[in-house]
Chains A and B, each alone.
Chain A
Amino acid sequence: QSALTQPRSVSGSPGQSVTISCTGTSSDVGGYNYVSWYQHHPGKAPKLMIYDVSERPSGVPDRFSGSKSGNTASLTISGLQAEDEADYYCCSYAGSDTYVFGTGTKVTVL
């Protein structure tokens, strides 16, 4: 299983919006609506931000939203805040009870 492709980094000023793409294949992202996104501050436990492509767990601000088109999923952070600075990973079900993560994107708040 090859890792899903994410941009290495994205950045934005406070209040702006940033979008992170996550590109896979028809065997993972394109084949299932089981894409999730995780926020990871170094040294801490990863945190679930989006599941089932666009669903938000309780407690996650509505500034975070997800979508999917074909083999590419996206995470958008609107109204960027300083505490959003972290690494973000997408993850997709890949069939046969396995999963594949993305390469990870570092979000920098300027």
Chain B
Amino acid sequence: EVQLVESGGGLVQPGGSLRLSCAASGFTVSTIYMTWVRQAPGKGLEWVSVIHNDGSTYYADSVKGRFTISRDISKNTLYLQMNSLRGEDTAVYYCAREYYWKLDHWGQGTLVTVSS
């Protein structure tokens, strides 16, 4: 059974950093595309970043240069390193498995709050 479990969220000050993790089971993260999606309070879903099975990475303009997506094959875990955090980065962050242009499995999300 495919399962995704996010962790690492919390309260961070503006300008600070945080690393989110997404532990995967039931499949291997290195063989498929993996995505981060976020939802700010009262707002809709926003695509954030993807890492392909070949390791290439892509980002939304809103996070480019500040966020880095990566994975650890030995831990079968996806990461999102978030630097220079801003108030508008406050959101629930979801990891999702992308399979042929669809997000077929999602985690429950982890809340990131950027505030002083």
How many interface residues does chain B have, given as a range?
A: 20 to 34
Q: How far is the CB of A20 from chain B (nearest CB, A)?
A: 13
The verdict on B94 contacting chain A, using a C-beta distance below 8 Å, is yes
Question: Which among A52, A89, A98 is the interface contact of B60 at CB below 8 angstroms?
Answer: A98
Q: Is the CB of B45 within 8 A of A38?
A: yes
The verdict on A48 contacting chain B, using a C-beta distance below 8 Å, is yes
Which of B8-16, B72-80, B100-108 touches A? Answer: B100-108
The verdict on B50 contacting chain A, using a C-beta distance below 8 Å, is yes
Q: How far is the CB of B3 from chain A (nearest CB, A)?
A: 10
The verdict on B61 contacting chain A, using a C-beta distance below 8 Å, is yes
The verdict on B58 contacting chain A, using a C-beta distance below 8 Å, is yes
**CB-CB contacts of A31-63 with B at 8 A, as 1s and 0s?**
000101010100011111001100001000000
How many interface residues does chain A have, given as a range?
A: 20 to 34
Q: Is the CB of A47 within 8 A of B44?
A: no
Closest B residue, CB atoms, query A50: B102
Of the A-B pairs whose beta carbons lie under 8 Å apart in the complex, a sample of 5, sorted by A's number, is A38-B45, A40-B45, A46-B94, A52-B102, A99-B47
A interface residues (Cβ-Cβ under 8 A, vs B): 1, 3, 34, 36, 38, 40, 44-48, 51-52, 57, 89, 91, 93, 96-104
Q: A48-B104, A51-B104 are in contact. List 9 more A-B contacts (CB 8 A).
A: A3-B44, A45-B109, A46-B94, A46-B103, A46-B106, A51-B100, A51-B102, A93-B101, A101-B46
